[in-house]
Structure formats: structure tokens, C-alpha cells
Homo-oligomer: A and B are copies of this chain.
Amino acid sequence: MKLTDIYLHLRNDINKIEKEIERNIDADHPVLQMASSHLLKAGGKRIRPVFVLLSAQFGDYDLNEVKNIAVPLEMIHMASLVHDDVIDDAELRRGKKTIKSQWDNRVAMYTGDYIFARAIEIATHCKEPAVNSVLADAMVEMVLGEVEQIKDQFDPNQNLRMYLRRIKRKTALLIEVSCQLGALAANARLEYQKALSKYGYYVGMAFQITDDILDFVGTEKELGKPAGSDLIQGNVTLPAMYAMEKDPELKKMIIELLETNKGDISIIIEKIKESGAIKYSKKMSDRYLSKANQALTDLPDGHPKAALKQIANYIGDRKF
């Protein structure tokens, strides 16, 4: 089943959100348009707006109100992707120069800044003022996560706590807030808001762990980049961390890769698989998904709840 089948009944509204996003990014400015066409072509499943709209269905659903949440949240996600593209000399040397990196760094940075600022501005149109502080708090945490990731880059000595905090900030938080604010903007009952927040957080954690698994087990064609890219870029994720603990030889190889950029990534990937790291990571992802589904039990039955459940299962089964 495709993801888009799950929320078919919301398809019209999602299309309207899509048009709003395009309208808001396309600032009728040549510099920004270059960035925005790149972003919009990249597509993306618009999963965050989907969470917003589904969560809003647990209150008084009004697209005109809830779009002031859905549009900003996707734009914040896009802006973070744009900033992620800004590269350092160090990364150029590590061979990270991509088509995207031909952009001037300043263009990429200010494009991201623009999209962030517009997102915040749109959210101020919400009737519910509490939205602004929830959103701002989340953005502070997200940026802290990026800053932390700079510090942790190429560091082989990471622990589970560091990893979980990083992916919480990087991925889970925005999905949690998508659910929370969708419900808040629709004046859903407080216990529904809480249940949806929890669901969003757990699903977000599972989503990122699955992404981190796929980076090792996927093919270049599926990933759109070489397998093992995370590690090559110095990003030590859960499968690598587990494998290093189980296999001291592999740990040496990975440390060498991180410190010198030398090593055979396909051998490293094979050894990571052999260590049981993929099974272990999948198990952790499944535990988060199980908690996500548990959080849904506090919600009334119906289409929206069923869709959220299906999305959680889809994330768990995701190959690509």
C-alpha cells in the first residue's frame, strides 16, 4: 500500500496545502525561485502536513485554520533541508560536492532563513496564540540538534543516549509538534492532544531509526546516494554504534574511516550487517512503533485513527 493511499480522503486538502506551500516559497524572486524549484521538485511525501490534518480531525476540523499549522511545519522541514546543504571546505575535501552544493552557501543559507521566517510568520495567523511558543520551542531544539551533530561528527565514541537525543531533535520533534499543533489548532480535547503528541514522537523516532537502517541496507539507486553515506559524512548512527560494540575489528575500520576517510565502505557495511546491528535497530524501531500504536488507544475510533495506525505500520514495513 502506498502512503498516499492511506490518506486518500484528505487528498484534496493536502493538494491545497501543497499549493499554499508553493505560493509561499516562491517569493517571486529569482534567487529564491532557484532554491524553491529545487525543493518542490524534490517532492517529498508531505508527511508532516498529513499528521497535522489527521490530528486536527480529532477536534473541530477547519482547513482555513489548520493550514496555518500545516504549511509552516512543512516549510520548516524544507528550510532545514536547505540549511543541511550548506557545506564547509572540509566537506568539499571529503568529496561531498553535489549538484546542490554548486549553490553559493549564502544563497542556500538565506533561502533557508527566508523559508523559516515565512513559516513563523504564517503560524502567527493562527487564532490560538499558544501555537507560537510551541513552534518556537521546537525550532530551538531542532537547531540545538544540528549544532550537536556538528560536535558529534566524526566522533566514534557515541552512546545510545546521545543518538536518541539527536534524532529526537532532528526528526521526532517536528512530527510530534505536527500532531500536537494540528490538534491544538482544532481545539481538540487536551487528552487527545497529549495522545497525538506521544504518537507523533514515537512515530518520528521510528521513522529516523528506519532511515538510518536503510542508509546501510539500501542500494544507491534506492537511496539516491551511495549506501553508507551517513558514515562517510561522519554521522555515526545506531547500526554503526551497535556494530562497533560487537565487533572490535570493525570498530577499528570505522574509526579509520572517520579519522582518515580511508576504507572500503562495502566491507564495512557487510560487517555491520553480520554483527546483527540491523536486526537490533529494527527491533528498536518496532518498539517505538508499538508505543506509537499504544498511544492511539486513547483516541476515538474512526477514519483518522485508522489512518494514523496505518502510517505507523507503513513506516515499520518501509523498504523504500
Contact = CB atoms under 8 A, between A and B. Distances in A.
Integer count of this chain's copies in the complex: 2
Interface stretch (A140-148, A187-195, A221-229, A294-302): A140-148
A83 B113 contact: yes
A113 B151 contact: no
A83 B105 contact: no
Contacts of A151: 29-31
Contacts of A106: 86-88, 150
A90 B105 CA distance: 10
Contacts of A116: 113, 116
A86 B140 CA distance: 20
Interface in A65-114: 83, 86-88, 90, 104-107, 109-111, 113-114
Assign chain A's interface to a size class.
35 or more
Given A104-B90, A104-B150, A140 B124 contact: no
A276 interface: no
Contacts of A54: none
A118 interface: yes
A167 interface: no
29 contacts: A29-B144, A29-B148, A29-B151, A31-B147, A83-B109, A83-B110, A83-B113, A86-B86, A86-B106, A88-B105, A88-B106, A105-B105, A106-B150, A107-B147, A110-B147, A111-B147, A114-B143, A114-B144, A117-B139, A117-B140, A118-B140, A120-B139, A121-B139, A121-B140, A123-B136, A124-B133, A124-B136, A125-B133, A129-B129
Given A121-B136, A123-B136, A124-B136, 12 more contacts: A29-B147, A29-B151, A83-B109, A87-B105, A88-B105, A110-B146, A110-B150, A113-B116, A117-B136, A117-B143, A120-B132, A125-B133
What are the nearest 8 A-B pairs in CB distance? A121-B136, A124-B133, A129-B129, A117-B139, A117-B140, A114-B143, A113-B143, A88-B104
